[in-house]
Amino acid sequence: MQKTPESKLVDPFGRKISYLRLSVTDRCDLRCVYCMAEEMVFLPKKELLTIEELYRVASRMIDLGVTKIRLTGGEPLVRRNIMVLFEMLGKHLGHGLEELTLTTNGTLLARYAEALVQNGVKRVNVSLDTLDPVRYHQLTRRGDIAHVLAGIDAAQKAGLKVKLNAVAMRGGFLGEVDDLIRFAHGRGMDLTVIEEMPMGYTGHDRYETFLSLGALRKSLEQRWTLVPDAHCSGGPARYVTVKETGGRLGFITPLSCDFCASCNRVRIGSTGKLYPCMGQSGMVELREAIRSSESDEKLTELILKAIDSKPKGHEFSIEKDGICGLSRHMSELGG
Ligand code: SAM
Ligand code: SF4
């Protein structure tokens, strides 16, 4: 393996930015209630970066010090020719890039699992909030859970390590989380529960559905033995091992716990906006620099400017008298 070049991506608070989450599309085949509105208006295709432009910005980030890239969306696997991007980025593995991965809703995973492995992907995160087919259909406003379960099967068969992500919400989840734990751990998968973040209008009342992970944890502790785990992903998840299953359970608590001090990541949206922090509205527009010149000079200058503007922390909160959130959807910049 070649030596990683010294990172140029260090923010004003001394945090080294080594992790890029790259949204490759704002489109999705589902409409999860916490993420998208039922009638989403997607961006005109010409506004999205092309596969070549996504590659150009990602490879520039690798040159500057990014060692891990996660493709996300929208749903990354609905993007046409997405495997071309995986193939191009996969060639950087072992040459600056240490990990290439994705977050997916899993509906198309059965089709792509083998190709992902061939392009160097070793792990995938699959979002699944319930095992009940009827509730899955309701929560995603259209999905068929059989496709996701087939995707998980295919991914594991192809040799991918799968982690499940579930958004915790009041109304149903407390009664289903035990099944999710048994399912995930029974198949050797970690499960991470995520606190709902106030991003974008989706047509459901977040104050009504917000379930703090503190409350969830208290409820879990009545039935399971949660042993604090030293495992650290470098991200906002805090882990425990469930003694009864031997499996790992993560908690992502952006609202009720501060993880910003160790943040190592930035996000680039599918139109080329670089967001130094998911929980603040600041961003730097890269698309014009990418489209107007073949030289990377301006692009590099803008990336460094964005890193230099990374704030100390997010500004999310869900209060009794209202939600302090962001008008953009999670799918716009990638979760
Ligand atoms: N479509 C893919 C998927 O669902 O995994 C990737 C994109 S999705 C925006 C990434 C993650 O964000 C998913 O795990 C999803 O559950 C989570 N997510 C979406 N909206 C959220 C919200 N408002 N609060 C917390 N998590 C959210
Ligand atoms: Fe689509 Fe993922 Fe958002 Fe659900 S969470 S609507 S699968 S982008």
Using the atom order of ligand 2, give the atom closest to the CA of residue 143: 7
pLDDT of residue 73: 95
- Tell whether the model's pLDDT for residue 305 goes beyond 90: yes
* Dist. CA 29 → ligand 2 center (Å): 8
CATH architecture designation of domain 17-332:
Alpha-Beta Barrel (3.20)
How far is it, in rounded angstroms, from Cα 207 to Cα 44?
32
How far is it, in rounded angstroms, from Cα 164 to Cα 248?
11
- The answer to whether the CB of 106 is under 6 A from ligand 2 is no
Tokens of 161: 């390590």
List C-alpha distances in Å: 321 to 138, 193, 257: 28, 25, 20
How far is it, in rounded angstroms, from Cα 293 to Cα 63?
18
Q: Identify which of 235, 230, 163, 285 has the alpha carbon closest to the alpha carbon of residue 17.
A: 235
Which residues fall in the annotated binding site? Answer: 21, 28, 32, 34-35, 70, 74, 103, 127, 163, 197, 260, 263, 265-267, 277
How many CB atoms sit inside 10 A of residue 40's CB?
16
Using the atom order of ligand 2, give the atom closest to the CA of residue 36: 6
Helix (H) or strand (E) segment spanning residue 109: helix 109-118
Find tokens 């792509």 and name the residue.
112
pLDDT of residue 322: 45
* Dist. CA 10 → ligand 2 center (Å): 31
Q: Which amino acid is at 335?
A: G
Tokens of 297: 């000079």
Tokens of 247: 């499996």
- Tell whether the model's pLDDT for residue 121 goes beyond 60: yes
pLDDT of residue 56: 98
- The answer to whether the CB of 30 is under 6 A from ligand 2 is yes
Please name the residue whose Cα sits nearest to atom 26 of ligand 1. Answer: 196
Please name the residue whose Cα sits nearest to atom 5 of ligand 1. Answer: 104
Please name the residue whose Cα sits nearest to atom 8 of ligand 2. Answer: 74
List C-alpha distances in Å: 258 to 98, 121, 171, 253, 323: 27, 30, 26, 8, 18
Q: For residue 241, give the 3-state DSSP assignment.
A: strand
CA 73 to chain centre: 8
* Dist. CA 84 → ligand 1 center (Å): 24
What integer is the mean pLDDT of 9-30?
96
pLDDT of residue 113: 98
- Tell whether the model's pLDDT for residue 237 goes beyond 60: yes
Pocket test of ligand 2: the residue of 29, 75, 107, 252 to mutate, having most ligand atoms within 8 Å of its CB, is 75
Digit-coded pLDDT (tens) for 4-15:
557 899 999 999
Pocket test of ligand 1: the residue of 103, 107, 139 to mutate, having most ligand atoms within 8 Å of its CB, is 103
Q: Which amino acid is at 132?
A: D
Tell me which of 45-49, 120-124, 187-191, 278-282 is least confident: 278-282
How far is it, in rounded angstroms, from Cα 142 to Cα 302?
39
Residue with the bigger pLDDT between 144 and 197: it is: 144
| 8 Å CB contact between 314 and 280 | yes
Residue with the bigger pLDDT between 254 and 58: it is: 58
pTM of the entire structure? 0.93
pLDDT of residue 275: 94
Residues 6+ positions from 288 with CB-CB distance below 8 Å: none
* Dist. CA 214 → ligand 2 center (Å): 24
- Tell whether the model's pLDDT for residue 69 goes beyond 70: yes
- Tell whether the model's pLDDT for residue 30 goes beyond 90: yes
* Dist. CA 34 → ligand 2 center (Å): 9
